[in-house]
Chain A
Amino acid sequence: MGRLTFAGLETRPGQVWGAVRLVPLVRDAPVEGLRMHPGALPETDLPKDGCWYVPHGLTAEWTRDGSAVPAFGTALRMPTATVDGSRRPKAKPRFADRRTRIRFIPRRGALETYLPLAFQAPAIAWPEWSRLAYTQSMLPEPDRTVSGLLVDGLADALRIFEIHPGQCGVLVYVADALAGVLITPHPEDYRTLHPTLVEDSYGELIWRYAMLHASVQDFEARIDASLVDSLADLRAQAAAVQRDWAEFHDGTLAAGLLDPEYHFTETYAMADFKLVRYRPEFETGRETHVGEAILDARGRAAFLQSFRLSETQIRRARLLQALAANEWHLDDTAAALALTTPAFVALLRNSNLTWMLRRDVLDHNLARHRRR
């Protein structure tokens, strides 16, 4: 358990266009030894014949000794592979087997990999569960997400956004609801990844907010003229305005991301960095962000991306989490949630999880729930 922080990053004034507010994060110095690239495969990897679709993903590239990463594609000897199971080396990699590049799955498909983190498939074969529950490793019907192109005003807001010098991150707000975060290790990476934010997926909630809200209030600077007697005072007040904004932003606007405690699942280690996936305790009615991050040795985010779950997704994740915690025992889980078993089954049905239950168990419980 732990918290996410923006350590090493400074918050700068946000820029508003319509209902979209983009808040930049700036680094004093780029993180050494790690770069992120929009992840096209090298042309040579593609077979010459036929038509191929290369999904929009990311490539992380690092060096063992913390020195600067050469520009993408220029390194002479840089063995590459993916974390994809089929290409994982069969034997445990020897020390000489130095892998310094991994690819991420496309961000618009990443959500499905975040959500099942909350549960491991049933370990004990309770009779209530259907065969599918043991064989399916992922949810059969992934949640609907919306491409950034369909979020009203997002494309324009990204187009006219003026990138700060040294900017390594951005928080995207739609109608002042935090929709997503992107943090990169290097300003150049940010510049290349900035336009791809529009290809990301956003939850249905964000899409709805963008439709309903035409504009948000800009944070207008205010200076108290009575405090100013010289130009130095004026300068100090101007600096205070910027500080106030940073405090207000980190303390209030981004509170939904920074305040909760997160579970971190380590998925991959790369030299000094580790790739983790994070999720909070799922609680209905609370802002919930899940995503993945690359943390350095001191736990500061070198790379981070997050996705805001919609209320339906939170409810579903909470049920799965409760089931996993109670070893998939139906009655125990219901009791843990202070519910009767039929009420719990009804909840599962409302969250579209009935495919996991045996049909007769389901019908029996629902009938009892209706009779009540």
Chain B
Amino acid sequence: MESVADLVAAEDVLLFVNAAVAATGQDEFHTGRGRQEWSVDFLHEYMLVNYRDLYAAALALGINDRNKAAIVLRLLRTGADASPAQRAVEGRLIRRALRDLPTSRVYRLFTALQKAKVNNRRTRAVMREWLSARPDLGFEAVKYRGAFKRAAVHAHLDLDGLPGDAGAEVASFLFAPMTSGRYRTPLFEAWRRAHFERSAVFELPYTVAEGFAVKHGIPRHVLLEQIAPLLTRNERLRLQRSGGAAVELDAAALGRMPLTRLAAYVLAIPEPERGERREELTRALRAAARRTAGDRAGTWGTVAAVLDDSYSSSGSGEKRRRPLVVALAAHYLLEALAREYRPLWLSGNEDALLAKPRGVTALGDRILDALETPPEQLIVVSDGWDNAPAGLASEVLRVWTTRLDPARRTAIAHLNPVFDADGIGVRRLAPSVPTAGIRDAEDLPELVAFARFDDGRAGIDELRAAVDARVERWLAEEEPWAA
């Protein structure tokens, strides 16, 4: 039997993890980013002070990149408060987290460290280690020139001692760019020539070339045609709507995109065109879902999903249709995971591909429909603003779990893609039903597995054991020899 304090601690940790998965520091449908920043900062500070080791361990729990960077920043800033043993674990976690983060995110973190004037020995070591382990330093020096320079200065990086061809020239490239004559490194040389030579622009990374293209007055379609081979996968997907034929992807290539990004792309296409390209898009989405499901495909038994396509799933100007995107991606992923799958959109829409955010959130009625033939697993993907009427879903779930299914033959999980700034966390449907924040639909299986700690009965010891196990696994991936 756990004490109340244990239960509260477990609740705090889960609250933080859920929030750190869902909160991205952007406007949501209901509240703006200002309020969100305030409540997320509060959660970070609260966790750091009260549960420092679990706070660091959250890096291993699939939270989103923004919050990973925020955790690293806070851990590095307050290193003095940690014991040597804690610092050792934190060091490994930070190293592993930086390796996973997108490069641009890490450079933004370094800039934040510089702005926050965090320049202790550990911070410098972390930055130096990460920077000197980069496979193509010259490329990053060009693509993230400003941030790279700031990081190098802040970490007291020995630029001349860096490995590779670029090592010898990077110092002059950063600090005396146009006065050192020609570079031997091709990319540096291309960058230098791009200042006055049109053809050199097309050898540069896309984001850098965009700036030079404006300077040389290169029309956009010409730039895209020439630079198409150099585009990264995400850049190419982002340009699908505006880029024209030069960057177009076929169905097979679309199927290799990450599922959630692909769903976002599909929902950005106007409805009539979606109908015309139905076959291609459905095939791409199914392929992406099958790839994400991997060997888990078809192992989930009978699954029903209540998917939120109410007006509030239109997100905000910054997060266009994000909740709907997650619901659509979850729809295809669950289809791949389940042996038998039944989707229930709130609007009664039967055609997932033509989903659009409209109408009310009548979750209670839809959950009743889903329980009509009880599935083994019921997944609810919704922002939790049940309003027709408010609280009916909560009551239906409460009565269902207490009166009709006390043995819990149907496992119910609620996944919430929206951070509720006023509630400081993600909105729950019912106390008896576990709720997890979700950012990308790809994490859905892990989140559902982790959500079982969130039914209000798991204590801190059980949770800590699960978190420790996951941290061990995560760190072992980094150092195969240590496993």
Binding site for B on A (CB under 8 A): 12-13, 15-16, 160, 162-165, 218-223, 225, 228-231, 234-235, 237-238, 241-242, 245
Contact = CB atoms under 8 A, between A and B. Distances in A.
Contact of A238 (B311, B347, B359, B365): B365
A12 B358 CA distance: 17
B390 A13 contact: yes
A235 to B, nearest CB: 6
14 contacts: A13-B389, A15-B387, A16-B390, A162-B387, A163-B360, A164-B359, A219-B389, A221-B394, A223-B398, A225-B398, A228-B403, A231-B372, A241-B395, A242-B392
Given A228-B404, A231-B372, A238-B365, A12 B388 contact: yes
A162 B359 contact: yes
A202 B290 CA distance: 56
B361 interface: yes
Contacts of A241: 389, 392, 395
B403 A229 contact: yes
B403 to A, nearest CB: 5
Given A12-B360, A235-B368, 4 more contacts: A162-B359, A165-B347, A165-B360, A237-B399
B478 to A, nearest CB: 44
Determine chain A's interface SS by DSSP, over half rule.
loop
Contact of B361 (A162, A223, A234): A162
B395 A222 contact: yes
Nearest to B369: A235
B364 A238 contact: yes
Interface string B360-391: 11001100100110000000000000011111
Contacts of A234: 368, 396, 399-400, 404
B360 A225 contact: no
B123 interface: no
Contacts of B292: none
Nearest to B359: A165
B402 interface: yes
B216 interface: no
Contacts of A164: 359-360, 388
Interface in B108-165: none
Nearest to B392: A221
B64 interface: no
B387 A13 contact: yes
Given A13-B390, A160-B29, A160-B30, A223 B396 contact: yes
A250 to B, nearest CB: 15
Contacts of A242: 389, 392
A281 to B, nearest CB: 35
A245 B399 CA distance: 20
Contacts of A221: 364, 389-392, 394-395
A231 B399 CA distance: 10
A295 B464 CA distance: 67
B24 interface: no
Given A162-B359, A162-B387, A223-B399, A231 B371 contact: yes
B310 interface: yes
A15 B360 CA distance: 10
A252 to B, nearest CB: 16
A249 to B, nearest CB: 11
Contacts of B359: 162-165
A21 B85 CA distance: 54
A242 B368 CA distance: 15
A243 to B, nearest CB: 11
B368 A219 contact: no
Contacts of B364: 221, 238
Contacts of B394: 221
